[in-house]
C-alpha cells in the first residue's frame, strides 16, 4: 500500500527467488513444526539441545472480535498477573499479562465514550498501562503501579481507529516482549457498518530463553532475533484450528502489529481486500490492497470476501516470520482437502 504518510519499509526486504532460498534455510532450522505452509506441510524440525519444557497450558484463544457494548461509560479493569504457558510446540515461557491473558483482552468503545480504566498489580514488580487511544498527560495517567497496588484514570475516546495498549514501565521493550499488550478498537461515534463476520488478530514476537518456563531472552530481544512470531499468542494456532467463514460473506479483520520489534505485512492468500482503513480510521480508506504493511504498534481494519469454497491462508508476507508462526487459515464451511502454499 503506497498511501501518503506510509511508514518507512522494514529493514529486510526479500523478493523473488531470494525469498524461496531463505525460506528453505529458515524452515530447516525451525523447531516449531509450523511450516511455511500456513498452508500445509510442516517444516522439518532439527534437534536443539535445550532443557525439556515443563507441561504448561497452550496460550490459544478465539479470534472472534467482541461486540460493542452500548454504554457511554466503558469500564475496563485488568489484573496484571504472571503465568507460565506454551506459545508454540515445546516453547514454554513465563509471561506478564493484562487480564491473565496474552494478548490482553480486546477493548471496544466508540468515539465520545468515557473509558474508566483501572489496573491491579498482582505481580512482584511495577507495571503500568499506556493507551494509544487516549489524549492524556502520560506522566499523570500512565504511572507505575507497585506490587499489590491499584490505579485508575479515565479518558474520552476522541479518534476512531485500531490502537495498541501496553505496559509503559521501563524498559518498555522488556515488558511488551513479556506479553503486556493488547488491542483497543475505537469505532466512529455512529458505529461501524454491519458485516457478516469480525475477527481480531494481534501479531507479536517472542524471544524464548533456552531455559523453559522463564521470561524473555534479553540477548535475542535486543538483537531482534525472535524465536516465535504469532497471531494471538500461539504459533500457527489457526492453522491447526482454522477460522471458519462462509463463501461470499463480508469479513472484517481488526489487525494490530504489537511488536515489540517486528512489522506485519498482513496478507490473505486467494483474495484482495475490498477496502482497508489505515490505522483503523474510516477517513483513511484505501481499496484493492493485497497486503497491509503495519509497523510495530500500528493497527488497521481490512474487509474482504472469498468467491469460492476453499482454504485461504493468512500470513505476514515477511515469510521469515511466517515460518516462525505468523500464519493461519480461513476455511469456508463447505471446503474440503488441504492447502499448501
Residues 140 and 178 in one domain: yes
Biggest alpha carbon–alpha carbon distance for the chain: 56
pLDDT at residue number 202:
98
β-pairing, 251-259 vs 197-206, is parallel
pLDDT at residue number 146:
98
Residues 148 and 270 in one domain: no
Residues 320 and 220 in one domain: yes
Cβ atoms of residues 119 and 144 within 8 Å: no
Q: Does residue 164 sit within a domain?
A: yes
pLDDT at residue number 340:
58
Residues 238 and 281 in one domain: yes
Going from the first residue of the chain to its last (341 residues), give the mean pLDDT of each consecutive group of 10, the final group possibly shorter: 41 35 35 41 39 85 98 98 98 98 98 98 98 98 98 98 98 98 98 98 98 98 98 97 97 98 98 98 97 98 97 97 97 82 55
Residues 169 and 278 in one domain: no
Q: Does residue 153 sit within a domain?
A: yes
Residues 200 and 314 in one domain: yes
Residues 208 and 291 in one domain: yes
Residues 107 and 84 in one domain: yes
pLDDT at residue number 341:
55
Q: At 340, list the grid cell.
A: 499448501
For 147, how many CA atoms within 13 A lie in the half-sphere containing its CB?
Answer: 6
Q: At 229, list the grid cell.
A: 512470531
Domain boundary among 187, 209, 228: 187
β-pairing, 285-286 vs 251-259, is unpaired
Residues 322 and 202 in one domain: yes
Domain of 40 in residue numbering reads as: 16-48+196-332
pLDDT at residue number 18:
35
- Class of residue 144 by CB neighbours under 10 A (exposed 0-12, middle 13-18, buried 19+): middle
Q: Does residue 7 sit within a domain?
A: no
Residues 158 and 212 in one domain: no
Q: Does residue 339 sit within a domain?
A: no
Residues 32 and 77 in one domain: no
Amino acid at each position: 500500500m503506497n498511501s501518503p504518510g506510509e511508514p518507512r519499509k522494514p529493514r529486510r526486504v526479500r523478493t523473488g527467488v531470494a525469498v524461496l532460498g531463505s525460506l528453505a534455510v529458515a524452515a530447516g532450522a525451525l523447531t516449531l513444526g509450523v511450516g511455511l505452509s500456513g498452508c500445509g506441510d510442516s517444516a522439518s524440525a532439527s534437534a536443539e539441545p535445550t532443557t525439556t519444557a515443563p507441561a504448561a497450558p497452550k496460550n490459544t484463544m478465539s479470534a472472534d472480535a467482541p461486540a460493542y457494548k452500548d454504554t457511554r461509560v466503558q469500564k475496563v479493569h485488568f489484573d496484571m498477573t504472571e503465568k507460565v504457558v506454551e506459545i508454540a510446540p515445546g516453547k514454554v515461557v513465563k509471561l506478564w499479562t493484562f487480564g491473565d491473558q496474552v494478548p490482553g483482552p480486546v477493548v471496544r468503545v466508540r468515539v465520545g465514550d468515557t473509558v474508566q480504566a483501572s489496573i491491579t498489580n498482582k505481580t512482584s514488580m511495577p507495571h503500568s498501562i499506556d493507551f494509544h487511544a487516549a489524549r492524556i498527560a502520560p506522566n499523570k495517567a500512565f504511572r507505575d503501579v507497585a506490587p499489590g497496588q491499584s490505579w485508575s484514570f479515565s479518558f474520552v475516546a476522541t479518534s476512531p481507529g485500531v490502537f495498541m495498549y501496553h505496559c509503559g514501565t521501563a524498559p518498555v521493550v522488556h515488558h511488551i516482549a513479556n506479553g503486556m499488550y493488547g488491542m483497543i478498537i475505537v469505532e466512529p461515534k455512529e458505529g461501524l457498518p454491519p458485516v457478516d463476520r469480525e475477527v481480531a488478530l494481534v501479531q507479536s514476537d517472542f524471544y524464548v530463553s533456552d531455559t523453559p518456563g522463564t521470561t524473555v531472552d534479553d540477548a535475542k530481544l535486543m538483537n531482534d532475533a525472535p524465536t516465535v512470531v504469532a497471531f494471538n499468542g500461539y504459533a500457527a494456532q489457526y492453522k491447526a484450528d482454522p477460522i471458519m467463514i462462509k463463501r461470499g460473506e463480508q469479513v472484517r479483520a481488526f489487525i494490530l502489529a504489537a511488536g515489540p520489534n517486528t512489522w506485519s505485512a498482513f496478507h490473505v492468500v486467494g483474495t484482495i481486500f475490498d477496502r482497508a482503513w489505515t490505522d483503523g480510521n474510516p477517513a483513511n480508506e484505501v481499496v484493492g490492497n493485497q497486503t497491509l504493511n503495519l509497523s510495530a504498534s500500528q493497527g488497521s481494519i481490512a474487509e474482504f470476501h472469498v468467491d469460492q469454497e476453499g482454504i485461504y491462508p493468512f500470513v505476514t508476507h515477511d515469510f521469515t516470520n511466517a515460518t516462525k508462526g505468523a500464519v493461519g487459515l480461513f476455511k469456508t464451511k463447505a471446503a474440503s482437502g488441504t492447502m499448501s502454499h
